[in-house]
Amino acid sequence: MNERVKKLRQESLNTQPYISIQRASLVTEAYKKYEGTVSIPVLRALAFEHLMENKNICIGEGELIVGERGELPQATPTFPELCCHSLEDLELINNRKKISFKVNQEIKEIQKEKIIPYWKNRSIRSRIFKEMTPEWKECYTAGIFTEFMEQRAPGHTVADDKIYYKGFSNFIQDIEKSIQNIDYLNDFEAYDKQEELKAMLICAKAIIRFAERYAEKALEMAEGEKNPRRKKELKKIAEVCLYVPAHPPRNFWEALQMYWFVHIGVIGELNTWDSFNPGRLDQHLYPFYKKGLEEETLTWEKAKELLECFWIKFNNQPAPPKVGVTLAESGTYTDFANINTGGLKVDGSDGVNDLTYLILDVIDEMRLLQPSTNIQLSKKSPDRFLKRAGEIIRKGWGQPSVFNAEEVIEEMLRQGKSLEDARCGGTSGCVETGAFGKESYILTGYFNLVKVLEITLNNGIDPQTGKKIGMESGELIQFNSFKELLAAFKRQLHYFIDIKIRGNNIIERLYAIHIPAPFLSIIISDCIEKGKDYNAGGARYNTDYIQGVGIGTITDSLSAIKYHVFDQKNINMKKLKEVLKNNFVGHEEVRQLFLNKTPRYGNDDDYADDIMKLVFNAFYKEVNGRKNTKGGVYRINMLPTTCHIYFGSVVGATPDGRREEQPLSEGISPVQGADRLGPTAVIKSAAKMDQVKTGGTLLNQKFTPQLLEGEKGIDSLAHLIKAYFKLGGHHIQFNVISADTLRAAQKEPEKYRNLIVRVAGYSDYFNNLSKTLQDEIISRTEHQSC
Amino acid sequence: MIGKKLTTEEVIKEIEKDLVFYKESGGGVTFSGGEPLGQSEFLEGLLSGCRKKKIHTAVDTSGYISWEILNKISPKVDLFLYDLKLMDNERHKKYTGEFNELILENLKKLSSIHNNILVRFPVIPGINDDYQNIKEIGKFLSSLKITQVSLLPYHYIGIDKYRRLGMTYRLAGIQSPSEERLSEISVILSKFNLNVKLRG
């Protein structure tokens, strides 16, 4: 990277995130001025306009791509209409050791005087908790499920290519046409449509105005600029901002700036889950890149510099501060922008192009938390593509992750999307499949499969609190077969999913009515045509997800019961209950039996893997196809983010040998340490899940750097990935282990039973090595990863 | 799989589980030991089973086995990994406990009926990495038809295992060969028109 990029990157990394109160103040002002005099969509639009007209304009030294969500890099606004932080919240956010945001005294004053009095009872968070039933609240408190929408707005969508051939002046024409088409005589939603479209018009004009303000600022700065080179750049910035987003971009620079204004618009309008992202960036930018090179108005170096400046912009916008359960489930600055590379083109041909490789170079150099990146690997992808990605993966900072393009497309086709829309889609957030630019694919909450089992084992009672929160599905000691137990689990599952969805139905309407998103609606098909908001079902496809967590833990737990209670009769139900109740204290021999003498998921053993399939299918059947409020349906995902840790903390000891409060298994990975036959067996087990039925699964694999050394290491990695994808895997990512992890493994070998290290010409389980050899490998790893 | 008795069918079933990986990587199964030819009938059954399923097979042998067995099994093996340690008969006896005539004779015969043999030479400093031995190996192999010679640098990872099993490790104190020495050996052997590969 060049000096400019180096400096901007360093600034981004060195700045401590802090709370900015500007947005909250401006939105509150607008609400106070207009609320009650206009419709709610128009009110939201006027608040957006007020923000775009008055928020701080910042052009950092050396910047080429401009625009921040807050007034400066790392300045993080709050969204009181969603979650109105109390003074205690702010204190906590300031003081907490991890994921802290600095809050100064002035901000606390404004929060106290202006923000809290207005929003305390109006925020969507307080409305949600007011509307939820006691049953829902009990489940939420017990950790049966989480609720995504209680602090952040529905988002979970990604831009497609339309903003590269349409400017906002074109969108304005589309909106006006749609207004003209309203049938006031026969369409009884005419007024709603009119107000929504009016709101979109205000937002479209506001984003153009926002860019003009950047142009004005750039010109003003150019006036006073002494350095002729920078003066020229500032004038160029002004030229770009006067053209986009009003008009479709003409070149590479304008294309990037176009997207970035849209990005700032989306994440300024609301704090949407998964911060929004450009999606298939190499596809969208390639025509501009190619044209620039052909016409000699762009060079490879200039394109790289612009991309790197663009990358830094993402890293400057941490996810706004979360509190409570949402913090526990997703405690990170990462805002889950996840850029896709490769995949297929709309005509089904290979999407990898020269720009794809340039983007991979940028990923390699930038090493930033945000944006996250992935490759969409298809059968048509050239070998060089996976190889280049492999070189970055083995450096061990977790990017890019790898997706199976064909599988992702098949998932969308199964859900009824058109072939073209499916091919232009991809994955975002962590691993979520979506038809980019055309779908609202909302994650509504994580669902604790293991907790449901715990409640089944206790006939509806949560043993952590003694409260009855489930239904009576039968006393454990009365079950005569595994089948009966499974049937009881299914009844509980049904009961809890009903509660979750009843809640969702209300929450979705709260958003549809009170928090429409007219700006986001402009760029997602077919909101303009339908005259409907993104949050009310305006998108072409409207999918709701419930994400299952703990499949490994629940599989091994059920396997232990089936094997030791019903098959081998090593232990009876009464004893099992007692052992679990005592958290295995005084029953270490039983725990060892469960841990070591049970068929477990992740070893390509059908005994356990068939149980995984039973649980997966039960969850799938319970959720898949249920209708949502937006004219779409529910689907399932199998991903945890970091929720498996929170969910584990609310579950007592489980029959897989897990002690109380320990984390659950993560994604569709086996229980930590349960897989003992290496990565090929894990892949075989994981692939037995019919992943096409999901909208995303997450599989983590851990390796040490030595294992991925040289050409051969990269080849092995490629073979492993391709074999998994051939079997129908959706996603795989690799953690390359650090020396610290190895040290932790030395201290707690039980937790790291599956950790494989490269020893000499061969690999072995770390646990199998003597302390001396372990030490040697630790020092070697330390040496190599620095 | 330590200490588990399996039937031929069970082993084949286990092997088949990884079919997708063999196909993706162009790999297959390697039968090693101990000495897999020590259970030649069982091995033959497995080899036939693999052939039926079109799974690539490799047999890792010390060559210290009767020619009848080697001859019988050879048509069913895709690749032989054949260990060669010392050319001098007395030294061979000293370090391995057996003379090497049978091993050399078998390799000679095998190379006339099998066209995919990879000779593996474990390089153990001070024991078999002397110029004389390497030259003899080169000379011997250059007269045969073999696919490749692999140099396997000695490592002392086994020490731990011996300790765990309460056995004395008799090569204690010997270090792994240096990279320089390995490439020198590689150069010498290459002069005999052999396809030499390090760790391959």
> All domains of chain B, ordered by start, with CATH?
1-74 (no CATH), 84-200 (3.20.20.70)
A717: closest chain B residue by CA: B25
Look at B163 and A759 and tell me if their CB atoms are within 8 Å: no
Structure pTM?
A: 0.91
Condensed to tens digits (0 to 9), the pLDDT of residues A341-400 reads: 999 999 999 999 999 999 999 999 998 888 999 999 999 999 999 999 999 998 877 789
HEC letters along A339-374 = EEEECECCCCCECCCHHHHHHHHHHHHHCCCCCEEE
Q: Which residues of B touch A680 (CB under 8 A)?
A: 18, 21
Whether B160 and A773 lie within 8 Å, measured CB to CB: yes
Gap between the terminal Cα atoms of chain A: 19
Q: Determine whether the interchain pair A770/B155 forms a contact, defined as Cβ–Cβ distance below 8 Å.
A: no
Which residues have CB under 8 Å from A28's CB, separation 6+? A80, A114, A115, A118, A119
- Does A719 contact B199 at a Cβ distance shorter than 8 Å? no
Please count the residue pairs, one from chain A and one from chain B, whose beta carbons lie less than 8 angstroms apart.
37
pLDDT of residue A38: 98
pLDDT at B123 over 80: yes
The answer to whether A98 touches A43, Cβ cutoff 8 Å, is: no
Residue B94 buriedness (CB in 10 A; 0-12 / 13-18 / 19+): exposed
Are A601 and A556 spatial neighbours (Cβ–Cβ below 8 Å)? yes
Query: Is-contact B33 B60, C-beta < 8 A?
Result: yes
Identify the band that residue B2 occupies on the pLDDT scale cut at 50, 70 and 90.
Answer: low
- Distances from the Cα of A318 to the Cαs of A86, A370, A717, in angstroms? 20, 8, 32
Burial label, A748 (beta-carbon count in 10 A; 0-12, 13-18, 19+) = exposed
Low-confidence ranges of chain A (pLDDT < 70): 329-330, 754, 758-764, 779-786
Three-class SS state of A495: helix
DSSP-assigned letter for residue A562: I
Read off the pLDDT band of B173 (50, 70, 90): confident
| Token pair recorded at residue A457 | 């084992």
For chain B positions 136-165, those within 8 Å of chain A (CB to CB) are: 152-153, 155, 157, 160, 163
Between helix A300-315 and helix A252-269 the angle, nearest 10°, is: 10
Contact B25 A680 (CB under 8 A): no
A706-740 pLDDT, tens per residue? Answer: 778 888 889 999 999 999 999 999 999 887 877 78
Q: Cα A114 from chain centroid?
A: 32
> Residue A753: its pLDDT value, please?
72
Specify the residue for token string 């596809």: A283
Which are the catalytic amino acids of A?
Answer: 430, 432
A342 closest CA partner among A434, A276, A255, A405: A405
Which domains are assigned to chain A? 123-152+440-697 (3.20.70.20)
Q: Which of B41, B47, B86, B95 is nearest to B63 (CA)?
A: B86
Q: What is the rounded CA–CA span in Å between residue A400 and residue A392? A: 7
Selected residue with higher pLDDT from A219 and B160 = A219
B161/chain A closest Cα distance in angstroms:
9
Contacts of A769 in chain B (CB under 8 A): 160
Q: Does B4 touch chain A (CB under 8 A)?
A: no
**According to the model, what pLDDT value does residue A782 have?**
58
User: Across the interface, do B160 and A684 touch by the CB < 8 Å criterion?
Assistant: no
Residue A123 contacts by C-beta under 8 Å, 6 or more apart in sequence? A80, A81, A82, A83, A84
Chain A residues with CB under 8 Å of B160 CB are: 769-770, 772-773
Give tens-digit pLDDT for A742-774: 888 888 888 787 677 766 545 567 877 777 778
Tell whether B25 lies on the interface with A, counting CB pairs under 8 A: yes
Residue that has been written with the tokens 């709610």 in this structure? A40
Task: Residue window 693-732, chain A: list those with CB within 8 Å of chain B.
Answer: 715-716, 719-720, 722-723, 726-727
pLDDT of residue A769: 76
Model pLDDT, residue A784: 47
- Taking the CA of residue B24 and the nearest CA in chain A, the distance in Å comes to 6
Cβ-Cβ contacts under 8 Å for A589 (sequence gap 6 or more): none
B13 contacts in chain A (CB < 8 Å):
none
pLDDT of residue A329: 67
